Amino acid sequence: MKLLPDSKQPFLSKTRIFSIIIFLFAILLPLVIVDDYFRYLLVITAINAVLVIGLDITLGYAGRINLAQAGFWGIGAYASAVASLNWGIPFWGGVVFAMILSAAMAFFIGYPSLKLAGHYFVIITFVFGIILTILFNNLLSITRGPMGLPGIPPVAIGHYQIINRVPYYYLTLFFILLVMIFKYKLINSRLGRALIAIREGEALAESIGINTHKYKIFAFTISAAIAGIAGALYAHFLSYIGPSSFTFEQSMELFTMNLIGGAGTMAGPIIGTALLTVFAEVARNFSPALARIAFGLFLVLAIIFTPKGIMGLIEKVRNR
Amino acid sequence: MALLEIKSISVFYNKIKAVDNLTLFVEKGELVTLIGANGAGKTTVLRAISGLIRPRNGSIIFKGIDITRMRPDKIVQLGIAHCPEERKLFPRMKVKENLMMGAFLRKEGVGKTLEWIYSLFPVLKERENQLAGSLSGGEQQMLAIGRALMSQPELLMFDEPSLGLAPNLVKKLASTIKNLNQQGLSVLLVEQNVEIAFSISNRGYILENGKVVLSDSVEELKENDMVRKAYLGG
Ligand SMILES: Nc1ncnc2c1ncn2[C@@H]1O[C@H](COP(=O)(O)OP(=O)(O)OP(=O)(O)O)[C@@H](O)[C@H]1O
Ligand SMILES: [Mg+2]
């Protein structure tokens, strides 16, 4: 098992080749998937991947369970929707605004709650997520409550408007790439080492001179900022957002995706998201209640059998 | 002025008073031991010095700077390292990674310190790519000391380093600590193995129920009736 990343890697290491293949595969995917609904699903999966990659920084690296990721996603979605609807700010400005707002909220919540023991943080993020859902439903002047916000304009690059699903998928893929590169750099930085140390032994990390509070806030804030990106992507993709998307259940699903794919790994969030988003969609069409139960079951299985999820299994097989 | 000066601190866990009006000092270059039975408050004193728990009153001065309410990372930066009693390593990290973690706050000269630590403990060099959790008890203790030294401390605090080690290893460990001390490192050593602690220390404090009941040079303490009865087995 490898906890800290190697500082020196050959230019074409196995991991790098693997990543490039996965990415090429992702690029070619919409050429194979021609069904319009599945292309829609593809975009949703990609947006979920952004969310889970972000979540993993808190869950997989700082080792803190964060049940508010869907809430931050909602903040981002509403922020960019309001920015474009009310102030005429284009998507690119909206993304930045979404990130800032989500990050600011995370800082505000994280600063006091990350001083407390881990289980308090879980509860506080849980409660905060629920409060956000209530706010999305009731801040009528901003969110229009359950009616939601329709008519969010599409993303434009110059004069070209991204209306079709395939180009939107590529736009989202571009953001996945950015977020992955950012995360990779982050994990390999001092901040990344501090987070891993916190996950591996917080009291010890504190006693060797790591300001654990500060680094946990960093991680949580970064997770939320990335959720903000996903929020903007989501709002401009559907052109309509409503409070029913950004629920506690969604946070739980993201959490499960992260665990199943492998927390604290680069590829895990993508694998977990791809598998479970497709599964959830199929199962929901079949029976929504059953889908919930299945998710719960996956979560339990992931916790019991594979502490590092599917990526852990792959590693095990590779090391055999 | 002493390197470390603790002026009548009291430390509480909620309502429980773990350290009661304790005064203690360590001069530069000294090896001072803190002795006491289980629950006497030894670990709490070290945690208070490291900033991991705040004293309710009193003050802790290091190099003339009041560190009583300072953050732990600032205290490490000032030059105090702490070899804790339990969970002293990151078991799932490699030996070298553990050592590098000890230098987290440093920017320069880390490689040199690492070489020095490998020369002190060649076995750590041999096992640098092994997981810390797979080391033997003695090796783990060396790694914990090495990790603490990586921050280039002026004062190194040990919390019962001999715990769980075979007698021959305890002797080896003691001579290592003495050796470091003779190279100029000031040491505050918490021990229950009184004999071994006295064999290398200059001065000692006896702690009972959070209070210092006796403090003197080791030579005097060895002659003290109470100490002989309670801690040296007669
Ligand atoms: N986290 C805590 N919460 C409440 N009480 C504590 C805590 N840690 C220690 N205590 C109490 O404080 C007192 C001093 O504990 P401390 O750990 O400092 O003793 P010690 O001298 O290090 O003992 P030992 O030799 O067993 O390590 C004890 O009565 C202990 O029960
Ligand atoms: Mg103790």
Reported as a single tens digit per residue, the pLDDT across B21-56 is: 999 999 999 999 999 999 999 999 999 999 999 999
- Considering only the C-alpha atoms of chain B, give the largest distance between any 2 of them, rounded to a whole number of Å: 51
Q: Do A200 and B82 touch (CB under 8 A)?
A: no
- Considering only the C-alpha atoms of chain A, give the largest distance between any 2 of them, rounded to a whole number of Å: 59
Q: What is the pLDDT of residue A320?
A: 57
Q: Do B92 and A209 touch (CB under 8 A)?
A: no
Q: What is the pLDDT of residue B178?
A: 95
Please write the tens of the pLDDT for every residue from B165-184: 888 889 989 999 999 999 99
Ligand 2 centre and the CA of B84: distance in Å?
A: 9
Q: What is the pLDDT of residue A142?
A: 87
Q: In chain A, whose CA is at the least distance from the CA of B79?
A: A209
Q: What is the mean pLDDT of chain B?
A: 92
**Residue that wins the pLDDT comparison between A294 and A93:** A93
Atom index in ligand 1 nearest the CA of residue B16 equals 5
Q: Determine which of A187, A189, A207 to mutate to test the interface with B (most B C-beta atoms within 10 Å).
A: A207
Binding site membership of B16 for ligand 1 (Cβ less than 6 Å): yes
When pLDDT is cut at 50, 70 and 90, the band that residue B232 belongs to is confident
In the predicted model, what is the mean pLDDT of residues A191-210? 92
When pLDDT is cut at 50, 70 and 90, the band that residue A287 belongs to is confident
Q: What is the pLDDT of residue B109?
A: 87
Which protein residue has the closest C-alpha to ligand 1 atom 1?
B13
Q: Do A208 and B89 touch (CB under 8 A)?
A: no
Residue A315 confidence (pLDDT) above 80: no
Ligand 1 centre and the CA of B88: distance in Å?
A: 17
Question: Poorest-confidence range of A13-22, A40-49, A268-277, B60-69?
Answer: A13-22
**DSSP letters for chain A:** ---SPPS---TT-HHHHHHHHHHHHHHHHHHH---HHHHHHHHHHHHHHHHHHHHHIIIIIS------HHHHHHHHHHHHHHHHHHH---HHHHHHHHHHHHHHHHHHHHHHHTTS-HHHHHHHHHHHHHHHHHHHHH-HHHH-GGG-B--PPPEEETTEEE-SHHHHHHHHHHHHHHHHHHHHHHHTSHHHHHHHHHHH-HHHHHHTT--HHHHHHHHHHHHHHHHHHHHHHHHHHHS-B-GGGS-HHHHHHHHHHHHHH-TT-SSHHHHHHHHHHHHHHHHHHH-HHHHHHHHHHHHHHHHHH-TTHHHHHHHHHHH-
When pLDDT is cut at 50, 70 and 90, the band that residue A159 belongs to is confident
- Measured in degrees and rounded to the nearest 5, phi and psi for residue B58 equal 90, 180
Cα distances from A275 to residues A42, A298, A310, B130, in angstroms, run 11, 11, 11, 35
Q: What is the mean pLDDT of chain A?
A: 88
Q: What is the pLDDT of residue B137?
A: 87
When pLDDT is cut at 50, 70 and 90, the band that residue A1 belongs to is very low
Structure tokens at A298: 């996956």
Which residues on B lie below 8 Å from A204 (Cβ)?
84, 87-90
When pLDDT is cut at 50, 70 and 90, the band that residue A90 belongs to is very high
Best CATH choice for the domain B4-79+153-231 from the list 3.40.630.30, 3.40.50.300, 3.40.228.10, 3.40.50.1000:
3.40.50.300
Question: Cα distance from B121 to chain A (closest Cα, Å)?
Answer: 20
Q: What is the pLDDT of residue A286?
A: 83
Binding site membership of B13 for ligand 1 (Cβ less than 6 Å): yes
In the predicted model, what is the mean pLDDT of residues B213-233? 86
Question: Poorest-confidence range of A92-96, A246-250, A291-295?
Answer: A291-295
CATH 3.40.50.300 in chain B: give the residue spans: 4-79+153-231
Q: What is the pLDDT of residue A2?
A: 57
Binding site membership of B194 for ligand 1 (Cβ less than 6 Å): no
Q: What is the pLDDT of residue A5?
A: 61
When pLDDT is cut at 50, 70 and 90, the band that residue A296 belongs to is confident
Q: What is the pLDDT of residue A35?
A: 86
Q: What is the pLDDT of residue A267?
A: 87
Residue B52 burial (CB count, 10 A): 17
Rounded-to-integer distance, Cα B229 and Cα B227, Å? 5
- Picking from A197, A201, A210, the nearest residue to B87 by CB comes out as A201
Least Cα distance to A59 among A294, A296, A254 occurs for A254
* Buried residues in A264-276 as b, exposed as e (16+ CB within 10 A): bbbbbbbbbbbbb
- Picking from A1, A197, A207, the nearest residue to B52 by CB comes out as A207
Ligand at minimal distance from the CA of B207 is 1
Alpha-carbon dihedral A225, A217, A120, A227, rounded to 10 degrees: 10
In the predicted model, what is the mean pLDDT of residues A277-296? 83
Structure tokens at A9: 């890697």
In the predicted model, what is the mean pLDDT of residues A195-220? 93
Alpha-carbon dihedral A17, A21, A23, A24, rounded to 10 degrees: 130
Question: Poorest-confidence range of A10-14, A103-107, B59-63?
Answer: A10-14
Report which residue type is found at A191.
L
Q: Identify the contact set of chain B against chain A, taking CB-CB distances under 8 A.
A: 50, 52, 71-73, 75-77, 81-82, 84, 87-94, 97, 100-102, 104-105, 131, 147-148, 151
Question: Cα distance from A272 to chain B (closest Cα, Å)?
Answer: 24
When pLDDT is cut at 50, 70 and 90, the band that residue B202 belongs to is very high
In the predicted model, what is the mean pLDDT of residues A49-61? 95
The end-to-end CA distance of chain A, in Å, is: 12
Q: Do B50 and A211 touch (CB under 8 A)?
A: no
When pLDDT is cut at 50, 70 and 90, the band that residue A312 belongs to is confident
Binding site membership of B44 for ligand 1 (Cβ less than 6 Å): yes
Residue A130 burial (CB count, 10 A): 16
